[in-house]
Amino acid sequence: MVEPVLRTMALILGAQVAALAALERATPRTGRGIWLAPRTNAPKRATELWFLRYAAVWIGAFALIIGLGLYERFTAWTYLGVCGGLALPLALQPFLYPGLTREADRPLAQRYALKANVWLAIFGWVGNYWYTHYFYSVLGAAYTMPAHRVNGVPWCMFFATHFYFCFYHVLSNCALRFIATGYAPGPRRAALRAAAVLAMAYFTAFAETLTISGFPYYTFADRGRAYTVGSAFYGLYFVVSFPAFLLVDEAPAGAVGAQTHSLARAAVEALAAAMAVLQLLDFVRLALGIPLVIRSAPG
């Protein structure tokens, strides 16, 4: 089963890469694009670097846990402690170590690191609390490990989602910023940006599904369908969130400070993005003719 699925995925991703390459060649360049936020927007640049560096910590921890099978000895409290503990440095940094993101002189509510955490925490909360039930209903997914749960979803997944999403969204920021700064405005750049969002969304969803395949307590009724259809389904999250998250305190390379968002605006935009994804998921469910069942117990 795995080999045909991987061949299918290779064809899909290959087509996406080919389309991106063709669009890139056809799009006029304006010069050298930038990946990270410009140095004139030091807090956002420092936060992006912090998220990228911290990814090595949680990825390394998960690699050890999965590779050594340590999860077999985990209890509900262990899952909560591991995932909560790995999310905690990201959540506490804006309060306790603002100097890490060059924001010690900013009031708390103006710190980009806090806005980014709040945006992703809201989006991740809605994703776990509501979207998980679409995976239960449409793909026959189930979490079977011991866990404390809310609305049928393990609490530990809310925390794990946060550090996953911090990493994903910084990578998408970099790619979309490179396109925005490295290519001339116009329809071709818009097409390249749209294609990049679709490719990144699908690849991110598939890569996560594949990398957690060694964890036996997140199961699907049909794993092959989960890799293909499920990746497209999960990718809908990022089709919306990748371009939306980039907007938080984003400004042209020459702008200084770039505090374009209040904390309240960041929260409202996260909620708007979450509702857009919920609509897309439900449109797909309706098209497939599958009833949505909200269950509060595992299975």
Q: How far apart are CA 83 and CA 160, in angstroms?
A: 5
Q: How far apart are CA 216 and CA 179, in angstroms?
A: 39
| pTM, rounded to two decimals | 0.93
Q: How far apart are CA 162 and CA 234, in angstroms?
A: 16
The answer to whether 88 and 79 are in contact (CB under 8 A) is no
Q: How far apart are CA 263 and CA 222, in angstroms?
A: 41
Query: What would the two tokens of residue 111 be?
Result: 């710190």
Cβ neighbours of residue 27 closer than 8 Å, sequence gap 6 or more: 183, 184, 188, 189, 191, 192
The answer to whether 290 and 278 are in contact (CB under 8 A) is no
What does each of the 299 residues of the chain score in pLDDT, given as a tens digit?
455 655 666 677 778 888 888 888 889 998 889 999 999 999 999 999 999 999 999 999 999 999 999 999 999 999 999 999 999 999 999 999 999 999 999 999 999 999 999 999 999 999 999 999 999 988 888 999 999 999 999 999 999 999 999 999 999 999 999 999 999 999 999 999 999 999 999 999 988 988 887 788 988 877 777 777 788 889 999 999 999 999 999 976 556 666 789 999 999 999 999 999 999 999 989 988 888 888 765 54
Q: How far apart are CA 22 and CA 18, in angstroms?
A: 6
Q: How far apart are CA 80 and CA 74, in angstroms?
A: 10
Q: How far apart are CA 146 and CA 214, in angstroms?
A: 17
